[in-house]
Amino acid sequence: MVIEIPKDHPRYESLVIREKIIEGMHQKIVAEAGLIAHGRGEAFDYILGEVTPPFALNQEKLAVITLLRAKNPVISVNGNVAALCSKEIVQLSQILNAPLEINLFYRKPEREIAIKDVLTKAGALQIYGIDPRNQKSIPEISHQRRIVDSRGIARSDCVFVPLEDGDRAMALRNLGKDVVAVDLNPLSRTSLAATVSITNNITRATTELVNFAKNFSKMNIQELEEEKKLLNNETLLQEALKFMSSRLEELASDQKYL
């Protein structure tokens, strides 16, 4: 850690996460732009109260069911994800039987290697996305992220993209793939384009997803479908926005803020 955060600091968790991102940048895992993206996420997390709200748990359940029901699920990993939750992402990959694929907006060989090392340290046995012999291009995307792995995203029917940019989420949908995204901003193009959107901090969401995945992977198809019937992505995304708006209203009428 770059600086020592006092444990009694009221926003301890948030500051520890921020330090991890900064450290990730020094280790070449996180791109400079990743810091800015993180800041945008922090602003929305502040409104959530920096805890997982009930609607997000339901979004996470729907995400796990969608990934378990997919034929070829894949987990796309970028620098921020690797810096913040590599252990949980590797666990999720093992439970869901979904390979990991490094896919970067700011593609640089040293970043790919740094991310590969972090994932390997966290227990990953196979990592797609870095072997040039298996590269395939998705014409729908105009920047470097168009390059995907022929064994991973190219042939998948469902991609878990924990932190994604809107263009790519939409391109993956246009290719007929399901997209499961984590994005604290319920208004982002990613949140709106995804088949399942999780409006939560990636650090909390991945821990909770691992727990749901452990439980749901023991269920049969019928039980999963019964659970799924109770959950609707659009309704849950609306709930996310309503939650944020009513929390702001509550805070606005709280005497201590006047």
Among 182, 196, 236, 244, which residue sits at the site for ligand ATP (rule: CB under 6 A)? 182
Does 201 sit near ligand ATP (CB under 6 A)? yes
CB of 4 to ligand ATP, least distance (A): 22
Region at 9 (left for phi over 0; alpha for psi -120 to 50; beta for the rest)? beta
Q: How many residues of this chain bind ligand ATP (CB under 6 A)?
A: 17
d(CA 37, CA 239): 23
Beta pairing partners, 136: 148
Beta pairing partners, 128: 101
**Binding range to ligand ATP, per CB under 6 A, among 22-30, 110-118, 177-185, 218-226:** 177-185
Overall size of the chain counted in residues: 258
Which residue number, 64 or 151, has a Cβ lying nearer to ligand ATP? Answer: 64
CB of 80 to ligand ATP, least distance (A): 6
**Contact string (CB under 6 A) for ligand ATP, positions 20-59, x = contact:** -----------------xx-xx--x---------------
**Binding range to ligand ATP, per CB under 6 A, among 159-167, 207-215, 238-246, 248-256:** 159-167
175 phi and psi angles, rounded to 5 deg:
-85, 5
Side-chain half-sphere CA neighbours of 120 within 13 A: 9
CB of 97 to ligand ATP, least distance (A): 24
Q: Are 155 and 99 in contact (CB under 8 A)?
A: no
Among 60, 149, 178, 183, which residue sits at the site for ligand ATP (rule: CB under 6 A)? 183
Does 168 sit near ligand ATP (CB under 6 A)? no
Smallest CA-to-CA distance from 182 within 169, 191, 195 is with: 191
- The Cα-based distances of 97 to 7, 24, 126, 203 in angstroms read 37, 27, 12, 21
Q: Are 168 and 161 in contact (CB under 8 A)?
A: yes
**Site of interaction with ligand ATP (CB under 6 A):** 37-38, 40-41, 44, 163, 165-166, 182-185, 188-190, 201-202
